[in-house]
Chains A and B, each alone.
Chain A
């Protein structure tokens, strides 16, 4: 397992040498969405608290570092951490409201969606942050400003983010914290009766998850050079974040990565392909069909099924 991971990382590190520029772009999407999915996995997968509002953290992180860069000249390398902290604070607020007042299941889903929507509407109507037009970042190509001439740098940065989040999840899984999160997901009442401070661990999970997701916001802003409230705070982005771990296997360490390797190229290719034929939005139908398939045939996601298959092959 450890060797497989080392080999996989080595291959991913060497890959840009042989890839064309479009393929590199596809890989950047794979890594970036795997990173967001992995960050979501902590609260949504392990702790079982279904957030469908993670776009709020992406958006807040993105707006924070972009505003700091544009108006205060602060480098996004630091703005990234500030954005992470601001998102973590929002995570703490959402978590406090949800967990202190016992919102579980659908009610927690609604709470997270509501927060993302509130931020979307605020951003749309606040001229100070660009309103509906959003924010545009002038391209300078200066690495100190998180801007790179060469697409391959974004490749490595996004790969680094994915590995960072995966490392965090691996650490969590190996420690008591991870066991508590899984126990909370399996049976929160029983967990509480054992004297586990479930509120504290859920709070910790959402704060870490929001912090990482907020960092992702900076990558989003400084990779695309523009931010629009509808795309960065919108429900579609939240769905993109949630769907990868679910398809790949939520609450598993490789689930979000596997899910992103399946879905991100599919999304990218179908978007390009269908929009050429005038079928804009068709990729969402492909998503829908795939999700139905996963729910029907692989309710725990692709990773657990793949693992069983590999174990059987190995004998």
Chain B
């Protein structure tokens, strides 16, 4: 499998504060990779840096062998990357349909948006039912579906999800993670950031554990599940 996303020793911070240092990771085409860790470990910061929402102070970010760091978010998204942010960040006064269409920002995504929309509706039939409803009036689970759907509208090669499990009931969570597995099976590579470590690893092929802004551990799903450190610190076993 070829490498789709590669981070090499990146450092990201806010003002005097360094939030993430010497983080290296890679996501290969077709994989689901989990980036796990506790609160404040630097997971969201890492994703925001990949999307170009935060400047990278040191290191290299590459998508398919091409440098991403230093590019604007709109350029980065046009290269085939979509970021589903933490807390959904939908446009509450716009309809579900309008929110989805806003996800098709790049030229190619826009040209093929009707086709993509059909696919998104097949994945999340609930969104089609709520098509014309204002996004602010959706339930938490539906909002998460809408946010994922909006990300898919960019027709990304790499879909990055920030805490998709946040604040969702277990039943809804199960549906959403099953759909994520299906999205991956049909050819979209996924990088998922999660605090819900059990959920995230169940979906993923491999994982990285971020602690205090550094990669503390990495490996295949089975290796991570077998690790004493993971069991103790994250799974409460």
A195 contacts which of B85, B92, B94, B106 (Cβ < 8 Å)? Answer: B106
**A contact residues around B103 at 8 Å (CB):** 194
Contacting pair A194 B150 (CB below 8 A): yes
**Interface: A233 (CB within 8 A):** no
Judged by a CB distance under 8 angstroms, whether B102 is at the interface is yes
Question: How distant is B125 from chain A, measured CB to nearest CB, in Å?
Answer: 23
B73 at the interface (CB under 8 A from A): yes
Interface size on B, residues (CB 8 A): 26
Q: Mark B176-209, 1 if CB is under 8 A from A, else 0.
A: 0000000000000000000000000000000000
A190 vs B102: C-alpha distance when bound (angstroms): 10
A196 and B98 form a contact (CB under 8 A): no
Enumerate chain B residues within 8 angstroms of A180, measured Cβ to Cβ: 102
Name the residue of chain B whose CB is nearest to the CB of A195: B77
| Complex Cα spacing A198 to B75, Å | 12
Question: What 1/0 mask marks residues of chain A from 152 to 196 whose CB sits below 8 Å from any chain B CB?
Answer: 000000000000000000000000100110110011011111111
CB distance from A75 to the nearest CB of B (A): 42
Contact of A194 among B72, B93, B105 (CB under 8 A): B105
Q: How far is the CB of A214 from chain B (nearest CB, A)?
A: 29
Given known contacts A182-B94, A186-B93, A187-B91, A194 and B102 CB-to-CB distance under 8 angstroms: yes
Minimal beta-carbon separation of A200 from chain B (angstroms): 8
Known A180-B102, A183-B102, A190-B85; judge A195-B74 contact (CB<8 A). yes
Docked-complex contact B105 and A195, CB < 8 angstroms? yes
Taking the complex as formed, is B33 at the interface, i.e. its CB lies under 8 A from any CB of chain A? Answer: no
The answer to whether A268 has its CB under 8 Å from any CB of chain B is: no
A207-B98 Cα distance, complex, nearest whole Å: 25
Q: Bound complex: CA of A156 vs CA of B26, how far in Å?
A: 66
Q: Which of B47-106 contact A (CB under 8 A)?
A: 51, 53, 72-74, 76-78, 82-83, 85, 89-94, 98, 101-103, 105-106
Contact A197 B74 (CB under 8 A): yes
Closest chain-B Cβ to A4's Cβ sits at a distance in Å of 23
- By size class, the interface of chain A is 10 to 19
> Given the complex, which residues of A lie within 8 Å of B82, measured CB to CB?
194-195
- Say yes or no: is B154 at the interface (Cβ < 8 Å to chain A): yes
Task: Assess whether A186 is in contact with B94, with CB atoms less than 8 Å apart.
Answer: yes
* A193 pairs with B91, CB closer than 8 A: no
CA distance A140 to B115 in the complex (A): 62
What residue in chain A is nearest B92 (Cβ atoms)? Answer: A186
Chain A residues with CB under 8 Å of B89's CB are: 187, 189-190, 193
Q: Is the CB of B94 within 8 A of A193?
A: no
Known pairs A194-B102, A194-B105; A183 contacts B91 (CB<8 A): yes
Least CB distance, A63 to chain B, in whole angstroms: 36
Q: CA of A195 to CA of B154 in the docked complex: distance in angstroms?
A: 9
Interfacial chain B residues near A189, Cβ < 8 Å = 53, 89
Q: Please measure, in the bound complex, the distance between the C-alpha atom of A193 and the C-alpha atom of B78, giving whole angstroms.
A: 11
When the two chains form their complex, are residues A193 and B73 in contact, meaning their CB atoms are under 8 A apart? Answer: yes
B211 to chain A, nearest CB (A): 25
Residues of the B chain whose Cβ atoms lie less than 8 Å from the Cβ of A176? 110
Given known A-B contacts A186-B91, A193-B85, A195-B77, A179 and B72 have beta carbons under 8 A apart:
no
Contact of B72 among A183, A186, A190, A197 (CB under 8 A): A197
CB contacts (< 8 Å) of B91 on chain A: these are 182-183, 186-187, 190
B188 to chain A, nearest CB (A): 16
Q: Which of chain A's residues have a CB closer than 8 A to the CB of B106?
A: 195
Separation of A200 and B75 alpha carbons in the complex (Å): 12
Instruction: Give Cα A179–Cα B104 distance, bound, in whole angstroms.
Output: 12
Q: In the complex, what distance in Å separates the CA atom of A198 from the CA atom of B73?
A: 10
Contact partners of A198 in chain B: CB under 8 A: 74
CA distance A191 to B53 in the complex (A): 11
Q: How far is the CB of B103 from chain A (nearest CB, A)?
A: 6
Complex contacts, B150 vs chain A, CB 8 Å: 194
Interface centre among A186, A190, A193 (most CB of B within 10 A): A193
Distance between Cα atoms of A176 and B102 in the complex (Å): 8
**A179 to B98 CA separation, bound complex (whole angstroms):** 8
Is the CB–CB distance between A179 and B102 below 8 Å?
A: yes
Taking a contact as CB atoms under 8 Å apart, the answer to whether A193 and B53 are in contact is yes
Q: How far is the CB of A249 from chain B (nearest CB, A)?
A: 14
Residues of B within 8 A of A195 (CB): 73-74, 76-78, 82, 105-106, 154
List 17 contacting pairs A-B, 8 Å CB cutoff, sorted by A: A180-B102, A183-B91, A183-B94, A186-B92, A186-B93, A191-B102, A192-B73, A192-B74, A193-B85, A194-B82, A195-B82, A195-B105, A195-B154, A196-B102, A196-B105, A197-B74, A200-B74
Q: A186-B91, A195-B106 are in contact. List 6 more A-B contacts (CB 8 A).
A: A183-B91, A193-B85, A194-B82, A195-B78, A197-B72, A198-B74
The 6 closest A-B pairs by CB, nearest first: A195-B77, A190-B89, A197-B74, A195-B105, A186-B91, A196-B105
> Could you list which residues of chain B lie within 8 angstroms of chain A, going by C-beta atoms?
51, 53, 72-74, 76-78, 82-83, 85, 89-94, 98, 101-103, 105-106, 110, 150, 154
A residues apposed to B, CB below 8 Å: 176, 179-180, 182-183, 186-187, 189-200
